[in-house]
Every structure is written in C-alpha cells, then in structure tokens.
C-alpha cells in the first residue's frame, strides 16, 4: 500500500513512527520517574495529593502517588500498571521499579542514537535479566531469625512516618506474619490479606495494636444476652431469622374470624422452630448476615445463646476463617458439622461504640486496630502496615534476604558488566546499559540524602570491588559505606526479584513499539439517536 493510502485511511488519527515514537515514549517514562524519584529511601520526601472532592493525602508511597495522578499517556500508564503489580505481588519496591524501567529506556535511547536496533537492545535486556536473577540467588543470605525478619520489615518502611511509628508497625507486622504462617504441601504460606484492619480514630499512631481475634463494631442483638464467654460453638447463617415476606405482591383475604390470628401464630411457630433447631445443635453464639426477629431474639436470650445480627459479609468471611466453618443458608439445613469453635468472646467499649472481640480456634483471626489523630494519619498507618505485613509474610515464605542501601544494585551492575564481556554481539552494549540502569537506585538514595550522587556511586563500587563484598551499601543515617548485614538494612529477595522482572518487562514492551496512533475524532451521536432528536425538534 502506498504511503498516501496510509494517510487517507488514518486521516482522523495522529501518528508517530520510528525513532520519534520511541523518543516520545522515553520522555513519558522519564517524566513519570521524576515524579516519584524524590520519595525513594529513608531520606525521601513526601507528596501532597489533592483529589477532586478536596480530600488531602500526604504520602511518599510511589504507587499511591502514581495511581492518584491523572495520566493519559499509554506508556506512562503501562509503567504505572507494572508498579501496581509490584505492589500487589511484593508490597514494596514500587518506586524502584519505575526508576529502573525509565533508566533502562533512557540508556536504550542512547544506544538507538548510536545505531543499535531496538530489537537487539530488547534481546540484550532479556539476557541481562536472566543473569541478574541468577546473581540474586548467589548474593542473597538465609534469614530465618526473627530479628532479621524484623530488619527487612523495618527497611521497607524507610521514610514512611516517624521512626517510632516505623518500629511499632514493623513489630506488629512480624507478629502477625508469624501467626499467619502455616505449612501447605511442605511450603510455608502466609496470606497478609487475612488481617482485618479496623480504624479507631483518636490517640497516637504508635498506640496502634494487634488484637488476637476478629473485632466487629457490634453489640448483642438483645441487651440481656451474655456478653463474655469462654470456649464454645458458633453458627454462622448467611441470612436471618425473620418473618417471611411474600416474593410477589399479594393480598390475604380474611373471610372468617380468627384467620389473621392463626396466620400470625403460624409465623410464630416457624420462628420458634428455627430457634429450636439452633438450640438442638448446642450453639453458644449465633451470627446472622441479615436481621433477627424480636420474638426470635427473646427465645435465643432465654436459651442462653448470644446472637449478632446484620453482620457485614466481609466480617462474616473473617469470622468463618477464624472459627473454621462456613455460613449455612438456613437453620433447617445446619448440622453439627457446620459449627465453628471459638476460644473466647467478649464485649469492649471503645469511645462510645461497642465492639465484639472473638478469638477463634484457627490462626487466621487477627485484627489490627489503627490509631491516629486524623483520617489522613489513619490511612497512612494502614498503608504502612499493608507494606510491612506483605514484606514480613514474604520473609516467612522465602527466608532469604538481600542487602539494602543500593548494595544489591551495585553488586548486580558489577557482575553484569563482567557477564557482558562474554557476549560477542551488540547485545553486549545492551547488557552494559542494563547494568548502568540498575545504578539509578544508589544514585537516587544519595541525591535524596543531599549527598554527591556520582561520588557516592563511585565510592561504593570501589569499596565492593576492593573488599570483594556484595553487602557493602550506603548507610544514610551514618553517611558512610557499611556492611548492610551488620547495619540491619536488608530486604526480601522476592521484592528485588519482582522489581527487576517488572522493570525489564516494561522497558522491553516500550522498545518493541514503533508506531503511536492517537485517535482525534470528536464524540459522535449514533444515527438512531440523532434521528430521534431531529424528530423531537420538528414536533
């Protein structure tokens, strides 16, 4: 097809091809990276986010900043998606993923300007990624000690909140992860999503605490019901104990005296039958997703059963995990096998709100009660804990850690350069560019600490080479180069592994794009709708 035919077909589309397309994509990536670059590390700065409704949020969490921004450029959105994946999979390293990907693209652009084809660069990057993943396994260290797990968790919170809050959240996260860890098919599994988070406004953030049980802002359905219990049995109903309503609109015709009373008596008998079924099972606590009729509440109270009604579905799921049972649809189908078991149940008043605390027989029932003087502080504490618990769970599932402080990235760069010397083709240049891109992390750490980035980078590289140590990194608190193992600055291998994979995938995807098509058509009204509008105008 001739070039003028392309122009005719795409006359309503803005098109950029070849190097111009790559240049625009690289510019978008660099602009995105510059947005979050200053947030990296313990000396990183915060961002003030303002939403459409005037809500204010202060954070230095990279993915939070990026997801809150209105970004239209497809390349930038692709990189934000990669950062979101990093957050979902590893819970940390979101800013690092963006910085490394952008640096890879910048270095790739320099090679393209020298005549290296993007496909060759992409191949070189893939070779470098495979080698980098092998190197990570070699330079990582086993970290099964609880103190080392705490160090990795604390490192993930660097720059987030006050040091006292970091320490408190780290300790709670490690405690929670240890409780969640279970053996499955010979492997340790710890799901961070099993911890319920309950905001309790007021107090100081360092008063945040972990409750060994499920906490729900509920009171018993009847004021005379027992509020504190020791171990017992619990039944969860995915419904309620109420008088039935007709499914369709209907009217009841009363033709004889006493018919209405008989109808009501029948309903009462049905309610009493449901309560009798519950009593026969030996239930101590009853939980319903829907309501409980007044008559049923009185019968349950008389039988010594504590009942809770209108419990949210998410809380029902949390209770189900904690007591080891699943909700049933009705009392008529419930059996003793459907009962769960709890260790204790009690009521506490926090402020003016009553809270039910149930400790189940399983290890999955945990609740983090966040404290803070404002909604913004409560949200920040919740985000910090989400990151910390994710890292702590990773450390239990895979007890290997890497050095922080930019040490791992320098070690990778040093070894990748030696690896590049063994590659005869132009991919060698791409591998060297890949190695240089990794050095953006120690450079950014030094910049954010007000240090000479280039000088510190050269100093750190020389120190690792002369000492033949992959664990020498930047200790920004003492402003020195230290052994990260001794300094307690470490991170899970899963975080760096995923960051390298995500950054490489993003960079390679962008390198393979040689055509940008932007639709320029204005919004149009469908023909059928337009005919109706014209008809209304002529009426």
The reported pLDDT for the residue numbered 216 is 95
- 251 pLDDT exceeds 70? no
Contact 359, 211 (CB under 8 A): no
Averaged pLDDT, 68-76 = 82
What percent of the chain lies above the pLDDT cut of 90?
61
Write the CB contacts of 239 (distance below 8 Å, at least 6 apart in sequence): 288, 289, 290, 329, 330
The reported pLDDT for the residue numbered 108 is 97
- Which residue ranges form the domains of the chain, and what is each CATH number? 3-142+401-518 (1.10.560.10), 214-364 (3.50.7.10)
- 523 pLDDT exceeds 60? no
**Which region among 174-188, 195-209, 333-347, 506-520 has the lowest average model confidence (pLDDT)?**
506-520
Could you report how far apart the first and last alpha carbons of the chain are, in Å?
A: 49
Contact 87, 63 (CB under 8 A): yes
Q: Which two tokens stand for residue 388?
A: 């910390």
Q: Which residue has the higher pLDDT, 85 or 69?
A: 85
**Sorting pLDDT into bands at 50, 70 and 90, what band is 246?**
very low
The reported pLDDT for the residue numbered 533 is 46
What residues are labeled active site? 61, 94-95, 387
The reported pLDDT for the residue numbered 420 is 97
The reported pLDDT for the residue numbered 161 is 73
Contact 336, 153 (CB under 8 A): no
Q: Which two tokens stand for residue 167?
A: 């320490």
Span 299-323, pLDDT tens digits: 999 999 999 999 999 999 999 989 9
- DSSP H helices in 207-351: 259-280, 294-302, 313-323
**Sorting pLDDT into bands at 50, 70 and 90, what band is 12?**
low
The reported pLDDT for the residue numbered 373 is 86
Q: Which residue has the higher pLDDT, 411 or 49?
A: 411
pTM: 0.82
**Sorting pLDDT into bands at 50, 70 and 90, what band is 245?**
low
Q: Which residue has the higher pLDDT, 122 or 517?
A: 122
């Amino acid at each position: 097809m001739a070039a003028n035919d392309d122009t005719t077909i795409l006359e309503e589309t803005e098109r950029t091809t070849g190097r111009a397309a790559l240049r625009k994509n690289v510019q978008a990536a660099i602009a995105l990276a510059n947005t979050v670059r200053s947030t990296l590390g313990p000396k990183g700065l915060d961002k003030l986010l303002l939403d459409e409704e005037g809500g204010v949020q202060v954070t230095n969490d990279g993915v939070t900043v990026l997801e809150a921004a209105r970004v239209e450029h497809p390349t930038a959105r692709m990189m934000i998606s990669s950062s979101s994946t990093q957050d979902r999979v590893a819970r940390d390293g979101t800013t690092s993923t963006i910085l490394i990907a952008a640096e890879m693209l910048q270095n790739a652009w320099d090679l393209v300007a020298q005549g290296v084809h993007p496909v060759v660069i992409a191949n070189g990057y893939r070779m470098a990624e495979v080698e980098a993943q092998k190197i990570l396994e070699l330079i990582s260290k086993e970290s099964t000690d609880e103190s080392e797990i705490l160090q990795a968790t604390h490192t993930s919170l660097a720059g987030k909140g006050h040091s006292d809050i970091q320490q408190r959240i780290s300790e709670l996260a490690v405690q929670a992860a240890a409780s969640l860890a279970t053996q499955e098919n010979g492997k340790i599994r710890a799901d961070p999503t099993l911890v319920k988070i309950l905001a309790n406004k007021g107090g100081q953030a360092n008063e945040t605490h972990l409750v060994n049980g499920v906490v729900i802002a509920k009171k018993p359905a009847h004021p005379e019901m027992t509020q504190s219990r020791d171990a017992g049995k619990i039944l969860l109903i995915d419904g309620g104990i109420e008088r039935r309503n007709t499914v369709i609109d209907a009217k009841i015709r009363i033709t004889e005296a006493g018919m209405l009373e008989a109808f009501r008596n029948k309903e009462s008998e049905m309610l009493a039958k449901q309560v009798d079924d519950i009593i026969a099972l030996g239930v101590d606590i009853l939980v319903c997703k829907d309501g409980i009729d007044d008559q049923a509440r009185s019968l349950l109270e008389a039988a010594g059963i504590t009942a809770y009604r209108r419990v949210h579905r998410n809380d029902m799921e949390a209770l189900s995990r904690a007591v080891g049972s699943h909700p049933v649809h009705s009392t008529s189908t419930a059996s003793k096998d459907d009962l769960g078991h709890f260790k204790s149940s009690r009521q506490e008043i926090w402020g003016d709100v009553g809270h039910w605390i149930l400790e189940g027989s399983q290890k999955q029932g945990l609740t983090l009660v966040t404290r803070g003087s404002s909604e913004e502080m409560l949200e920040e504490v919740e985000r910090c804990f989400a990151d910390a618990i994710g890292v702590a769970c990773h450390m239990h599932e895979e007890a290997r850690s890497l050095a922080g402080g930019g040490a791992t990235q320098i070690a990778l760069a040093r070894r990748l350069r030696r690896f590049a010397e063994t590659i005869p083709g132009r991919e060698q240049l791409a591998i060297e560019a890949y190695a240089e891109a990794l050095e953006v992390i120690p450079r950014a750490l030094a910049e954010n600490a007000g240090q000479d980035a280039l000088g510190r980078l050269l100093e750190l590289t020389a120190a690792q080479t002369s000492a033949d140590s992959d664990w020498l990194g930047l200790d920004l608190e003492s402003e020195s180069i230290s052994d990260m193992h001794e300094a307690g600055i470490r991170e899970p291998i899963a975080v760096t592994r995923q960051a390298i994979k995500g950054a490489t995938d993003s960079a390679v995807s962008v390198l393979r794009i040689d055509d940008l098509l932007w639709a320029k058509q204005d919004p149009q009204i469908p023909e059928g709708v337009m005919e109706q509008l014209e008809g209304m105008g002529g009426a």
